[in-house]
Each structure stands twice: as structure tokens, then as C-alpha cells.
A and B are shown apart, each in its own frame.
Chain A
Amino acid sequence: MIAREQDTVASFLLRTVDPDRYRQSVVSAQSHAPLCMMGVCFECLVEIDGQKNQQGCLVRVRSGMRIKRQIPEG
């Protein structure tokens, strides 16, 4: 998959997956998707290189990065 120059993990995922497949809340089990893209809402949480709950909108996509959506079988 090819990212754009200033793609964050969240902007990249928003182009590649449906918003209802972005992540699932552990509290409500509902689908959640990025809301603010500016580091405030924490709706864009993803697992990056084994570290869970990273704010996808703040992290630049890098080559070789391992991104795992926080959904069952994501």
C-alpha cells in the first residue's frame, strides 16, 4: 500500500478502510472512527508497531510500519 507524503496513520486508514471498520470501542462495542484529526478526540486509536492505543492522527505513516486496527479480527 502506498501512502502520501504527509499521511498520518488515520488519514491513510480513512482512505483504505470503511469508517465503520476503523476501530471498535471496548466500552460500548460500537464502531468508532476518527473525528477531529487534531489530537483531541482519541477516536482514532490504533495499534502501531505493537503499541496499542496510539493516536493515529498524530503519527506519520512510515515504510514498514505495522498498523493493526483495534477490532476483532482487524
Chain B
Amino acid sequence: MTPVSEPDLLIIGGGAAGLSAAATADGLGLTVELLDERSALGGNLYAGVGKRADDDRAFGPDQVRGRALLAGAAGATRSSSTFAWRIERDGRTFVADGAGGVRSIAPRRLLIATGAMERPVPIPGAMLPGVMYAGAAQLLLKSAASVPAGRCVLVGSGPLLLLVATQLLAFGVRPAGIVETKPRTSLQAFLSHLPSALNAPGLLARGIRLLGKLKASGVPFHRGAIRASIAGRDRVERVEFTDAEGRRQSIEAELVLLHDGIIPNDHVTRQLGCRERWNEAQHCFQPETDPWGETSLPGVFAAGDCTGIGGGRAAELAGTLAALEIARQLGRIAEGERDRQAERPRRALRRQHSFRPFLEMQFPPSIALAGDAASDTVLCRCEDVTAGEIRLAVAQGATGPDQLKSFTRCGMGPCQGRSCSMAVAEIIAKETGSTVEAIGRHEIRSPLKPLPLGQIATAEAEVVR
């Protein structure tokens, strides 16, 4: 094992929050290391920004912003294709790089900026090849300028679903349909949340433009759909749903892009045992942080969407604020200076957050809610465990996610429950008359991802000591 590095700050995640924190911390004289498991920095929002010959057709302004962030963070030691597989509560982090090397980093402060992930959508047929998340298609567009071939139908709910539809159109791919499962918003709810939306008129205008573009495109847009499912023998053949008039419909498809909002990608904070709380409006768990992003573990910070969904701009601002407080804790700036520099980003962050209640009201989770899933719907993709098998295990006494593992192997596959943990909690809650908040999710232990044994062995002596 190579010698331990000891930067002032280690940042896990090279998206908006991580890059912006790196720039701020570097600017204040801290030594910064930043790592990301992906092969390029930028996270989801700024995926592909590092490309040399770029094609900005669909992503103009975001690309420009992303490139600025990437350039701003140039002072940090940055490693892509490098993932943290074990993190101690004092911040010491064991990482594996793409070349099979293992090393450890002992930072004075740790910032977790692991962003968001797609809210897993366990509907019938979602296992079929040809199904992807809408965010996956967007990443393909951004990084490799490609989309899988075939007749494409978008299914689900959320701003990203509509955004991806317009980005596909801009790329020259015409979706065969959009099946939107967003429940109808009552006028009362709309009006009561409208003031929050008006705090960020730019975002509201962007949403209205998006809908306008979709309408103008003439792509069939089925709103208020329910009971969406995907059918096919060995791969996707069609999407079925009940439309707003109650008619069962079927659309031929070769590529189905699913989406039902995004949730914090919080595996790292969970492994560390950071205290978390239930976010009712976003229907997800998130780590608790103070106004600077410090978690329940002193010296361990988290910023951006991994602490609750706020969007890319909010993530950037939260990264800056965390870096300011870290610089203060390490004696680089005084409290007064920290507060002075935090004033503008904090104000901007408040504006970003003020828009969220409107979005959350507009796009509650719909097809992702697994409580009533049909018995043969697969919830655990790795171990092929169905909703029916989980209900049976609950009836036989497995009333917690960890017990369910030993009953069904659900959550024990390579993804370690990333896809199924919420669905499992939904089902247990439904069957036992409890709530997802009370049920919680199973424990996360290191290694955070399966790792070849040989690689762990080279690090083992260090871990034990």
C-alpha cells in the first residue's frame, strides 16, 4: 500500500457541490484532494463537460457553467475512476483506483458530495432489457453523444422526464410518446405553492418553456396516466397504461425511459452512520446537517443533493458554504470573514430552496411507490426478489429490512440495496401499518462496493491497525 496522503480536505464526489467546494477551499489555501468513481468529473448535471471536442447542441448554458466549475477546481488534486470503499468516522478513507491500486487518505476534514440518484422505479417489466432511467439516457447524450436505438417512450413523472424529452428532440431523436404518471394537482395546492415558485421566476419560466416546446413538438403526451407497466418477452416490446379517461392503452416501444424524481445518493453518509432524517416532502431519507453542511459526525461534512434534493445551483452554493466553514475550523479564516464571504451564497441558496416546495407539490413520487406493487413485480434486481416474496417474509415475521435480508437475500446483491431499500421499506410499512420513516433502511457496511479480495488484502493490515 502506498503512503497515506494527508490533505486538509478530502472531497468525495466531483459534481457541482464537490467542484465548487474544491475551488473555494483551494482559494483559501487549503490542500484539497477530490475523488470521483466515474471516469470523468462533472457529476450528473455537468457530465461530459471535460470533453475536448464538444457538441453543445442540447446543453449550452449548463456546459459553460460546468466548464467554469471544472476550471475553478483545477488547484485540487483530482482523481477520477477512484472510489472510496471504506471510510472511518475520523475521515480516514480507503480508496481503490481503476488500475487496481489501493491507498488511504487521512484528511483533516471530509466532505461528502455524492449527489443524487434516480428514485428506483419497481414497476412490472422494469427489469426488461431496453428499460433505462431517463437520467441514464441524458448521461449517454452528454458524455457519449448517443442514445440507444429504437422507438422510445418516456414513462413517469418529474421535471427531468420532460427535460430529457426535449433534449432527445434537440438531438434529433423523436420520442414515440410521453406517458406522464404525475397525479393531477388540485387548484388549491397549486395556488398555495405558487408564491414559493415566484421566488425563482427564472426556474418557473424554464419549466413553462419546456412544456411549450413539448406541446409544439407534437409528441403524443399522455397526462394523468396510472397503472403503467412494461411488457415484452426477452426485451421491451410495449408500454401499457390506463389513461386519464380510464381507457387501457398500449404503445409499442423498444426503449423505455423511466423516471420518478431523484433522491439523495447517500450510501457514503449511511456507511459512516451519519444521523439521518426523513424528508416527507421529497419522500426520502437524508443526512442531517447544520447550516454549513457538517453532519452529526464532527469534521464530516456533506453538501449538495446527497443531503436532500436542491438542484445543481443549490449544490454549488452548499459546497462553497461547507468549504468556508472548513477553512474556519482549520484556522485559515476567522469567523467574521467566513460570515462575510457566506452572505451572498447563503442568500442565493435560500432563493434556490424556496422553489423546491412548488416542485415537490407538482411532482410527488408516483410509480416508484411500491406498497401496492403487484406480487410478481421484482423489487430487488440483483437477487430477483419480488414484492410477493417480501410480503410473505413479512407475514412470517421479518418486519425489518435487515431481517428481510436473511429471509429473502433482498439487498444482499452487488448493489447492496441501492435499488430496493426504499421499496422494501414501503412494503413493510404497508403490511405492518407503519411508515417508511419508522421502518428505515438496512445497514450499510464497507466495502461500499464489491471489491476484488486481492485489493482488500493489500489494505487489510492498515484497516486493522
Q: Which secondary structure dominates where chain A touches chain B? A: loop
Who on chain A is nearest to B418 by CB? Answer: A40
Residues of B within 8 A of A55 (CB): 449
Assuming A27-B382, A38-B117, A38-B135, is B129 touching A33 (CB within 8 A)? yes
Residues of B within 8 A of A39 (CB): 37-38
Within 8 Å by CB of A38, from B52, B139, B234, B413, lies B139
Contact digits for A1-13, partner B, Cβ 8 Å, 1 yes 0 no: 0001111100110
Contact digits for A26-52, partner B, Cβ 8 Å, 1 yes 0 no: 011011111111111111010000010
Q: Which secondary structure dominates where chain B touches chain A? A: loop
- State in angstroms the CA–CA spacing of A33 and B52 once bound together: 29
Q: Does B24 count as interface, using CB distance less than 8 angstroms? A: no
In contact, A11 and B414 (Cβ under 8 angstroms): no
Within 8 Å by CB of A35, from B48, B53, B131, B265, lies B131
Interface-located stretch among B101-109, B144-152, B348-356: B144-152
- State in angstroms the CA–CA spacing of A7 and B144 once bound together: 5
Assuming A5-B51, A14-B148, A31-B235, is B414 touching A36 (CB within 8 A)? no
Range of interface residues on chain A?
35 or more
In contact, A30 and B127 (Cβ under 8 angstroms): yes
In contact, A58 and B418 (Cβ under 8 angstroms): no
In contact, A11 and B146 (Cβ under 8 angstroms): yes
- State in angstroms the CA–CA spacing of A53 and B414 once bound together: 9
Interface residues of B (CB under 8 A from A): 37-40, 44, 48, 50-53, 81, 83, 98, 117-118, 127, 129-133, 135-136, 139-140, 143-146, 148, 234-235, 265, 381-384, 413-415, 418-419, 449-450, 452
What are 25 A-B contacts defined by CB distance under 8 Å?
A5-B52, A6-B39, A7-B143, A8-B144, A15-B144, A15-B146, A18-B129, A19-B129, A22-B129, A27-B382, A27-B384, A31-B129, A32-B127, A35-B131, A38-B117, A38-B136, A38-B139, A41-B415, A42-B418, A53-B414, A55-B449, A58-B37, A58-B39, A59-B98, A60-B39
